[in-house]
Amino acid sequence: MDQRRNLYFYETRRKNVAEKVEELKKLAVQYGFTIVDHSDEANIIVSVGGDGTFLQAVQKSGFREDCLYVGISIFDDLNMYCDFQANDTASLIEVMSKAEMEVRRYPVLQISLDQEAVFYCLNEFSIKSSIIKTMEMNVYIDDLHFETFRGDGMIIATPTGSTAYNKSVSGAVVDPLLPCMQVSELASLNNKRYRTLGSSFILSGDRTLMLKMLKGSNNYPIMGIDNEALSVQHIEEIKISLSEKRIKTLKLKDNSFWHKVKRSFL
Ligand code: NAP
Ligand code: MN
């Protein structure tokens, strides 16, 4: 790897992971890396855990574009964001000894709440009713009023997030080389009074999706960015678009997104 040699480790709190991380840190120091205590001093942010840990490492470090994110899996197999396995030191040494590395870039969603607070998502933004009642919202694509949704909620997924929550509600798996976002419904009501598209749809990265909560309805939604709940309440408008930001990870041989999909699901 080139001159970017400051490493920050973000690890899951599971049992026995701390010892593993100590071993990994020692190995990295042997190969000329410096371990730093804060993610803002790092050029490379390493997550040790699963996909959920990788998502947290990216959220907690603020979706930095000037650094590389590397996922190390503590499980027996690799997963969607983890290209390395903690016990496979040979692969880690190989990559640490390389002078040049190819990077791949993952699209990120940008969410603004009531034209103010801005959040980013690598997997998905989710909005759900928090009570035993449906929630209602008007859905706009750019300036077009597209539908009025009534149901449990919605998921707006990135291409890399398409294999997560989105897939569980029958959304399509999307190639991350397509900068886009996928909208999927959670149990929409469809009858003579309420009608929604009913299938997932994919929006180009140039479009904006706007969700406007219906005034006066029993709306108590909870919102999630990746694996974190947003503690914001009483929101009227949510604007969702593809961010200019991209998350960079190492590109390895025989490890395209479709290799990962095959490995994880087939
Ligand atoms: P979790 O509830 O502990 O685990 C959700 C599962 O999804 C884990 O097995 C996780 O992998 C996996 N996962 C996460 N991102 C993925 C991706 N991009 N592609 C394929 N699988 C993925 O939550 P978590 O580990 O903190 O992960 C948060 C994510 O869970 C959310 O962003 C959401 O996509 C997903 N989720 C799914 C459902 C559902 O499918 N019904 C419900 C809620 C949330 P690891 O075990 O390696 O962490
Ligand atoms: Mn997890």
60-111 per-position pLDDT tens digit? 999 999 999 999 999 988 889 999 999 999 999 988 888 788 899 999 999 9
The answer to whether the CB of 50 is under 6 A from ligand 1 is yes
Q: State residue 102's pLDDT score.
A: 87
- Residues of the chain with pLDDT > 70, as a percent, come to 98
Q: Quote the CA–CA distance of 64 and 105 in Å, as a whole number.
A: 12
For strand 68-73 and strand 84-85, is the pairing parallel, antiparallel, or unpaired?
parallel
> Could you report the per-residue pLDDT of 149-160, keeping only the tens digit for each?
999 999 999 999
pLDDT at 3 over 70: no
- Residues of the chain with pLDDT > 90, as a percent, come to 81
* Ligand 1 mean position, distance from CA 50 (Å): 9
The domain at 108-244 falls in which architecture? Sandwich (2.60)
Q: State residue 78's pLDDT score.
A: 82
Domain(s) labelled CATH 3.40.50.10330 in the chain stretch across: 2-101
The answer to whether the CB of 160 is under 6 A from ligand 1 is yes
Domain(s) labelled CATH 2.60.200.30 in the chain stretch across: 108-244
Q: Quote the CA–CA distance of 64 and 55 in Å, as a whole number.
A: 13
Nearest CA to ligand 1 atom 6: 164
Residue 254 designated active-site: no
The CATH number of 2-101 is 3.40.50.10330
How far apart, in Å, are the Cα atoms of 8 and each of 38, 67, 85, 218? 7, 11, 17, 44
Q: Mean pLDDT over all residues of the chain? A: 94
* Ligand 2 mean position, distance from CA 10 (Å): 14
81 is in an annotated binding site: no
Q: Quote the CA–CA distance of 65 and 70 in Å, as a whole number.
A: 13
Q: Catalytic: which of 2, 37, 40, 51?
A: 51
